Amino acid sequence: MAVLINGTELAKKVKAEVRLGAEAMVEALGEEARPDMTLIVFEGDPVSRSLVAMKARDCEAAGIVPTVVELPDETTEEELFALIERLNADEKVTAILCQLPVPPHVSTKKLLNLISPEKDVDGFSARLDGDITDLAACTPAGVIRMLDEYGIEVAGKHCVVVGRSNIVGKPMAAQLLMRDATVTVCHSKTRDLASFTRQADVLIVAAGHAGLITADMVKDGAAVIDVGMNYVEGRLAGDVDFEGVSQKAAFISPVPGGVGPMTRAYLLKNALRLSAEKHGMGGTAVGSRPNE
Ligand code: GUN
């Protein structure tokens, strides 16, 4: 039976680290240095609104000041981009997030390119030629912390990532490569997916397909991280058949209670990090690095 990777408990620890870091910033530099986050959301999408409300509550609990900007769905691309440019230029604004998806008349690619990398709290602009000390996208950063915390080594191991999205699969593969893993990325067009997943020492699944990974697709003793968030009959479910796979794997993260809370915790970690860098306290002083 696999060891359960408890993302809920680990996220509490990460949030406590952020809170301590935020208070250390304030103690050293005054209340103006308190980390902040501006969260933009289109008001017609109830799921996005509730996610942003949760993120804002997370900020408050961690000593970060949230500002939520709700935009009517009719907001034009030009108006949104003008807002982003204003926030980029505003010295008081340290961290910016625009909740995705945005309405179809807004280009996601242009939007994400416009948010200044110094303020990109999602870490979506993390560069492929970066290294492990750079700010990383929240989900991959959270997954790496889960692996570290449970003593799961990736260097020299075969890590298989299922999913190639810009916000999870690709940056996840990059993070693993930076840590000397051998990485295979599979996706919806991969032929004979099981032949790859069975080779994985560490299997990270971010396909958005409930029950995609069954026990017969997993090597004995593998570590399996489930990034899937699917709603099946109104309930949250991952991409991995938890019951079956947990009989075979050595480690498994559940859904809910696995990667999800860690993504949210690493958003806070990134906000602290951006704030620390802005105030010349980047790095270890406030524990703001992704994997501290
Ligand atoms: N929509 C779903 N997940 C995310 C995320 O991590 N960041 C943003 N900005 N939008 C999202």
Domains of the chain: 29-117 (3.40.50.10860), 138-260 (3.40.50.720)
The answer to whether 141 touches 291, Cβ cutoff 8 Å, is yes
235: Cβ contacts below 8 Å, ≥ 6 apart: none
Residue 185 in this model has a pLDDT that exceeds 70:
yes
Helix (H) or strand (E) segment spanning residue 247? none
The angle formed by the CA atoms of residues 42, 43 and 44, to the nearest 5 degrees, is 100
Q: What is the pLDDT of residue 283?
A: 62
Determine whether 55 is an active site residue: yes
Q: Where are the beta strands (DSSP E) in the chain?
A: 3-4, 36-42, 65-71, 96-98, 158-162, 182-186, 202-205, 223-226, 230-232, 235-237, 251-252
Residue 54 has pLDDT above 60, yes or no: yes
One DSSP character per residue, 159-200 reads: EEEE---TTTHHHHHHHHHHTT-EEEEE-TT-SSHHHHHTT-
122 annotated active-site: yes
Write down the mean pLDDT value for the chain.
95
Ligand 1: atom nearest CA of 263 is 6
Closest atom, ligand 1, to C-alpha of 167? 6
Backbone dihedral angles phi then psi of residue 251, each to the nearest 5 degrees? -135, 145
Say whether 175 is catalytic: no
Q: At 291, is the pLDDT very low, low, confident or very high (cuts 50, 70, 90)? A: low
Cβ of 99 closer than 6 Å to ligand 1, yes or no, is yes
What's CA 208's distance to the chain center, in Å? 15
Indicate if ligand 1 lies below 6 Å from the C-beta of 241.
Answer: no
213's enclosing H/E stretch is: none
Q: What is the pLDDT of residue 277?
A: 94
Give which of 17, 63, 55, 42 is closest to 269, Cα–Cα.
17
pLDDT of residue 129: 87
Rounded to the nearest 5°, which phi and psi values hold at 224? -120, 120
User: Ligand 1 centre from 99 Cα, in Å?
Assistant: 5
Q: What is the pLDDT of residues 66-78, one digit of tens each?
A: 999 999 999 999 9
pLDDT in tens, 115-150: 999 999 999 998 888 899 999 999 999 999 999 999
Does ligand 1 have an atom closer than 6 angstroms to the CB of 120? no
Of ligand 1's listed atoms, the one at least distance from the Cα of 48 is 1
Identified catalytic residue from 36, 58, 120, 122? 122
| pTM assigned to the model | 0.96
Q: Which helix (H) or strand (E) holds 45?
A: none
pLDDT of 287 > 80? The answer is: no
Distance 109 CA to ligand 1 centre (A): 13
